[in-house]
A and B are shown apart, each in its own frame.
Chain A
């Protein structure tokens, strides 16, 4: 009996070990594949012209592969989404974790989880028929297909991530901290912002970073509402073209082995590096909290 148990143990251990290694293996493969396809671009285009070039005309002759407007578009949309989603998300997390009565807490939590379950293309579609016409009329701008509309949609998508992680980190604050604060005569609000939030600030930052990571990688909804014009030096109420939308919109057109095809992979590398950096920062913050 004991032997069979032992065998099962080893078997299960082996299986989960393989799955664990497989995921790392896949990530490595993906990265090397991106790198392998992307580097060919730099035989014909300078890295400098690629990263800092101001115009993106991939099918012209000669083509121009400057992704600065695309990076700018991604940053603009992301920053807008962060400004909207971070205060809302953190506020919601504090309310759920510290203030809300238990019943309401459950309702709010499942509501926010449901928000995460809405497919992005559905959000994009809703955005086209609601936010886009509204933004044009409300702000008196020429068109509602703007970075701002993208930011609003993305804020909805980042909210669930921010709320659930921020709420977890609020929960991880030891009860004794709060008890101590109350014992000193602090009110509930004083306790929250003087004791609880500072105690889990790194977890909060991680929540924000992971929410932003989600925003940077989002494609479909953004492509539908931002207007996709690759132009620099314009504000949040103008159209913008993101890195992700560029890959999605153009990859179907490219012939494998053309410069345009390689350029899209190079954009993939840039995107991978951005999200990797964001994830690493978030990880670093979570670990700092544990120490």
Chain B
């Protein structure tokens, strides 16, 4: 036991010694961006294109989830947060307490795809059925037009903006007084990739993630607003037109008025060139 404790203490001291170093490096024209896993690839693509044009700025992009990004912004461990949901009033309160006034920029749109295994006969669901499945009221595929097998519900962890968005807009249907929750039986997976992996090999699973993740081994279900309405596929056009019911804006938050470097990067994101990258990453450009 004492051995382990000694190793641990050595490690801790090494970390403490490394901390001032990282601060020194961080100061040399660098931008720390953190947050939504949905946006990681997109923001990374922006960063790469930008760094190619202006090599004087180093941009580091890391994921972790929207909540993680906003928490990091408030804790001062990143300069810019990317988020697939709005900042909450609670987070704004905490920001005010810390003397930070986060500034919001809408940078792109994203359609949330609901996906199942390609062998699953279900290819259309209404929002009510979706809510039923994810809250645990519907537990067998035969009640949603499929085979007689138990539904395996896959969700993201609570630090994910996608998790929060899905809960508020699908489970609670935008009603802020609703008390619906994800079923306690829902599997909480740490990343969109983990959801994609489980969908690939499990015929009974259903999950959700950003449109950009739809792969060959997954089937995106078309979604109808209600029983009478036409079911719509998650395509770019239908996200822009608003016909696809589960789509959302993607945001970037800065801690207060952005500095020169950050502002130039934001201008690049919102330029035509930046919005072209949005399209190439399977997201939907933001209509000004």
Contact = CB atoms under 8 A, between A and B. Distances in A.
A23 B6 contact: yes
A143 B205 contact: yes
Contacts of B119: none
A55 B202 contact: no
Contacts of A128: 197
Nearest to B156: A249
B68 interface: yes
A250 B157 CA distance: 8
Given A142-B149, A252-B65, A253-B67, A231 B185 contact: yes
Contacts of B159: 249-250, 252-253
Interface stretch (A57-65, A82-90, A173-181): A57-65
Contact of A227 (B91, B187, B201): B187
B71 A229 contact: no
Nearest to A23: B5
A143 B12 CA distance: 39
Contact of B204 (A142, A238, A256): A142
Given A26-B8, A258-B94, A253 B198 contact: no
Interface residues of A, number: 43
Contacts of B185: 229, 231, 238-239
A23 B184 contact: no
Interface in B197-211: 197-198, 201-202, 204-205
Interface string B231-275: 000000000000000000000000000000000000000000000
A77 interface: no
A69 interface: yes
Nearest to B2: A23
Interface residues on B, range: 35 or more
B15 interface: no
Interface centre among B181, B185, B188 (most CB of A within 10 A): B188
B196 to A, nearest CB: 12
A223 B185 CA distance: 16
A257 interface: yes
A228 B158 contact: no
B190 interface: yes
Contacts of B9: 22-23, 26
Contacts of B152: 142-143
Contacts of B6: 19, 23
B125 interface: no
Contacts of A58: 158
A86 B83 CA distance: 46
B26 interface: no
A27 B5 contact: yes
Contacts of B67: 59, 252-254
Nearest to A20: B2
B245 to A, nearest CB: 23
Contacts of A230: 184, 188
Given A27-B5, A279-B1, A57 B181 contact: yes
Nearest to B201: A133
Contacts of A258: 90, 94
Contacts of B64: 252
Given A133-B201, A143-B204, A279-B1, A254 B71 contact: yes
A69 to B, nearest CB: 7
B189 interface: yes
Interface centre among A55, A232, A255 (most CB of B within 10 A): A255
A20 B181 CA distance: 50
A58 B71 CA distance: 15
Contacts of B187: 143, 145, 227-229, 239
B180 to A, nearest CB: 10
Contact of B71 (A69, A231, A252): A252
Contacts of B137: none
B94 A257 contact: yes
Contacts of B90: 258
Contacts of B186: 229
A284 to B, nearest CB: 12
Interface string B49-64: 0000000000000001
A252 B75 CA distance: 11
Nearest to B160: A253
Contacts of A257: 94
Given A59-B164, A142-B149, A228-B157, A253 B12 contact: no
- Listed from nearest, the 8 A-B pairs whose CB atoms lie closest are A253-B159, A253-B67, A252-B68, A231-B184, A227-B187, A228-B188, A23-B5, A142-B150
Interface of B: 1-2, 5-6, 8-9, 12, 64-65, 67-68, 70-72, 74-75, 90-91, 94, 149-152, 157-159, 164, 181, 184-190, 194, 197-198, 201-202, 204-205
Given A55-B184, A256-B74, 12 more contacts: A19-B6, A23-B8, A27-B5, A142-B150, A143-B198, A227-B188, A229-B184, A230-B188, A249-B159, A254-B71, A255-B75, A256-B71
